[in-house]
Copies of this chain bind each other. A is one copy, B any other.
Amino acid sequence: MITFETRPDTYHHWKLTVDGPIATLSMDVREDAGLSSDYRLKLNSYDLAVDIELADALQRLRFEHPEVHAVVVSSLKERIFCAGANIMMLRGSSHGAKVNFCKFTNETRLAMEDASAHSGLKFLAALNGICAGGGYELALACDEILLVDDGNSAVSLPEAPLLGVLPGTGGLTRLVDKRRVRRDLADYFSTLVEGVKGKRAVDWRLVDAVAPTSRFKDAVQARARALAATSDRPAGGPGITLNPLNPTVTESAVTYSAVALALHRDKRTAELTIHAPTGPQPSTPAAILAAGDQYWALRAFRELDDALLRLRVNEPEIGTVVIRADGEGDAVLAIDRTLVAHQSHWLVREIIHHMKRTLKRLDLTARSFFAFIEPGSAFAGSLFELALAADRSYMFHDDQEENVVALSPMNAGPLPMSNGLTRLQTRFLNQPEIVAGLLAHDGPFNAGDAEDAGLVTFAPDEIDWDDEVRLAVEARAAFSPDAMTGLEANLRFAGPETMETKIFGRLTAWQNWIFQRPNAVGAKGALQAYGQQGRPEFDWKRT
């Protein structure tokens, strides 16, 4: 079982140091501390274990170190920044493991860009040596890239020529879309095993600057200070501590304080339940700071995030997830009011962006989600985003009209999807008048109104409910899991595409295709042949 919680004092692969407004995140991968003993993580190559620590460090910088304004991403290994994803690990991984690995690393890279865009946390890639493949893709996710000019150190994307696969962690997309590297130069560069160094790397926009070895350290510090100066984060702390989640894990359940994941492996389904807050809640930034990681909006979404990650990697056969929100919808709406009122406070801002990233993680999880909205549920405001994120929602149509859903300002902008739109905007694509009308609605929607308004998919009454929801889940769980993944990947993201959706749509879909092709993963494919005797043997047919 893979778990995703860690903390800096137990990191194997990264060293996190904080010096006033500048943090340094140094890669120093321990060869023998990968997820499996089947491979050694040489030359700062990485596997999921390394990336889990990186994701943790990013999260802690946001919450625990508000005084940090810029992060230097570098390496403690001499003349090596990072060699990219470990090839032996990729070779030995199942298709699903490769896909999940790439998805998580993509989310982590995008979280860096999210921190830069929305949280005033800027990143400088300080490339002290060779920077290949996923190593360069990590650099591409930073705001600036500084490469040492030592006559040897180059940036490269050798995946296609060496391994017959794509740079799958956003590299191709970021080259042309983010850094505006000319497409023909990007084409040439992406077929060049040895990469590009020095002035040419600058001229082609592959890096922002180079500095000779003797001036590299000073240049890094100067650029880090300049980046830090652009930040709008607070001048000092304190931050809050992200403590362990400590879920209760049994054979068939993972139970947290506000989230519960129940697994029904025989039916290939799971139930994911989020509990609304109970009791008095902090309503000022000072009180939220004092509550720290126990504040419901942070705690519940950290738990949800962890549950989704566990589900992805540990329960591949569970294809359909029923989402419930239980408790008082009004309590969620009160939380939302507090969040919106204080969204300019650094911690509230972090909490909202964390909720946003967690909901994006759900959008990008290749499982079918059905929201069941039953009496006693709390699908209101930010928790109603779960119903909007679901592939379908079923709302129990009670005679008493007590079963309700509600919107809040949190549905109107703070929690956008990867496509840059809110879930309501995506649902009612290019129909802003409908979205505005729903947001202006005063009070909750009962089941009939919610169905009429298009806020839920179906609203069966008492006579039909049991059969209808049971059959819906059974039917879903019986379909080809691949067809459902493809269906959802296309229907969930209507509207504009962004660099983010391009990475998860176009780039990832092609990479997943290649990850199945004999030319890559067959016995004589490039990924298998690499480093072995003999060259790969290709089926030359172009597709």
Interface code A155-195, partner B: CB below 8 Å = 1, 0 otherwise? 00001110111100000110111001011111110110000
**Chain A window 355-396, contacts with chain B (Cβ cutoff 8 Å), 1 for yes, 0 for no:** 000000000001100000000000000000000001111000
A491 adjacent to chain B (CB < 8 Å): yes
Which of the candidate stretches A322-330, A407-415, A427-435 sits at the interface with the other chain? A427-435
- Does A506 interact with chain B (Cβ within 8 Å)? yes
Among the stretches A217-225, A295-303, A338-346, A507-515, the one at the interface with B is A507-515
The one of B185, B390, B487, B540 in contact with A190, judged by C-beta atoms closer than 8 angstroms, is B487
Closest to A526 in B: B480
Residues on B with C-beta less than 8 A from A542 are: 96, 316-319, 366-367, 481, 484-485
Is A497's CB within 8 Å of the partner chain B?
yes
B183 touches A479 (CB 8 A): no
Report whether B185 and A457 are in contact in the complex, using a CB–CB cutoff of 8 Å: yes
In the complex the two chains form, is A187's CB within 8 Å of B480's CB? no
Tell me which residues across on chain B come within 8 A of A317, comparing CB atoms.
540-542
A513 to B511, CA, bound (A): 9
Question: Hey, which chain B residues are within 8 Å of A160, CB to CB?
Answer: 479-480, 483-484, 486-487
Q: Contact string, A486-525, partner B, CB cutoff 8 A, digits 1/0?
A: 1111111111110001100111011111101101100001
A426 at the interface (CB under 8 A from B): yes
Q: In the complex, which residues of chain B have a beta carbon less than 8 angstroms from the beta carbon of A161?
A: 479, 483
Q: A536 — nearest CB in chain B belongs to which residue?
A: B480
Chain B residues lying within 8 Å of A509, measured Cβ to Cβ, are 505-506, 509-510, 512-513
A95 touches B543 (CB 8 A): yes
The residue in A482, A491, A505 that gathers the most chain B C-beta atoms within 10 A of its C-beta is A482
Find the B residue at minimum CB distance from A173. Answer: B490
Interface residue? A454 (CB, 8 A): yes
Distance in Å: Cβ of A390 to nearest Cβ of chain B: 8
Q: Which residues of B contact A349 (CB under 8 A)?
A: none
Name the one of B316, B319, B481, B497 contacting A497, with C-beta atoms under 8 angstroms: B497
Oligomer: number of copies: 2
Interface centre among A481, A519, A543 (most CB of B within 10 A): A543
Chain B residues, CB < 8 A from A96: 541-543
Name which residue of chain B comes closest to A187, CB basis. Answer: B391
Are A517 and B516 touching (Cβ within 8 A)?
yes
A99 at interface, CB cutoff 8 A: yes
Q: Are the CB atoms of B486 and A497 closer together than 8 Å?
A: no
Point out the residues of chain B lying under 8 angstroms from A183, CB to CB: 391, 426-427, 491-492, 494
From 439 to 487 in chain A, residues with beta carbon under 8 angstroms from any chain B beta carbon are 454, 457, 475-476, 479-487
Question: Contact at A268–B497, with CB atoms within 8 Å?
Answer: no
> B-facing mask of A227-251, CB < 8 A → 1, else 0?
0000000000000000000000000
Chain B residues with Cβ under 8 A from A501's Cβ?
A: 497
> Is the pair B516, A190 in contact by a Cβ cutoff of 8 Å?
no
Within A308-324, the residues touching B (CB, 8 Å) are 316-319
Chain B residues near A516: list those with CB within 8 A: 513, 516-517
A340 to B62, CA, bound (A): 55
Interchain nearest-CB distance for A300 vs B (Å) = 24
Contact (Cβ within 8 A) A187 B487: yes
CA distance in complex: A390, B95 (Å): 32
Question: Is B543's CB under 8 angstroms from A494's CB?
Answer: no
Residues of B close to A483: CB separation below 8 A = 159-161, 163-166, 514, 519-520, 526
Q: A176-B429, A177-B495 are in contact. Are A191 and B490 (CB under 8 A)?
A: no
CB distance from A321 to the nearest CB of B (A): 10
A405 to chain B, nearest CB (A): 14
Interchain nearest-CB distance for A106 vs B (Å): 14
Q: Is the CB of B319 within 8 A of A540?
A: yes
Question: Residue on B with the closest CB to A429?
Answer: B180
Considering the complex, give the chain B residue whose CB is closest to the CB of A391.
B187
Nearest neighbor of A96 in chain B, beta-carbon distance:
B543
Q: Is the CB of B429 within 8 A of A191?
A: no
Name the CB-closest residue of B to A183: B491
> Nearest Cβ distance between residue A130 and chain B, in whole angstroms?
21
Q: Is the CB of A541 within 8 A of B481?
A: yes
When chains A and B are docked, how far (Å) is the Cα of A180 from the Cα of B483?
22
Nearest chain B CB to A168's CB is how many angstroms away?
A: 9
Central interface residue in A317, A430, A476, A491, by most chain B CB within 10 Å: A491
User: Which B residues are CB-close (under 8 A) to A175?
Assistant: 491
18 contacts between A and B (CB under 8 A): A164-B482, A166-B486, A180-B430, A180-B431, A184-B392, A187-B392, A190-B487, A317-B540, A317-B542, A318-B542, A481-B538, A482-B519, A483-B519, A483-B520, A490-B506, A497-B506, A505-B506, A506-B506
Seen from chain A, the residues whose Cβ lies within 8 Å of a Cβ on chain B are 95-96, 99-100, 159-161, 163-166, 172-173, 175-177, 180, 182-188, 190-191, 268, 316-319, 366-367, 390-393, 426-431, 454, 457, 475-476, 479-497, 501-502, 505-507, 509-514, 516-517, 519-520, 525-526, 536, 538-543
- Would you list the 9 A-B pairs with minimal beta carbon distance, nearest first? A497-B497, A509-B509, A164-B480, A176-B494, A505-B506, A486-B510, A172-B490, A316-B541, A160-B483
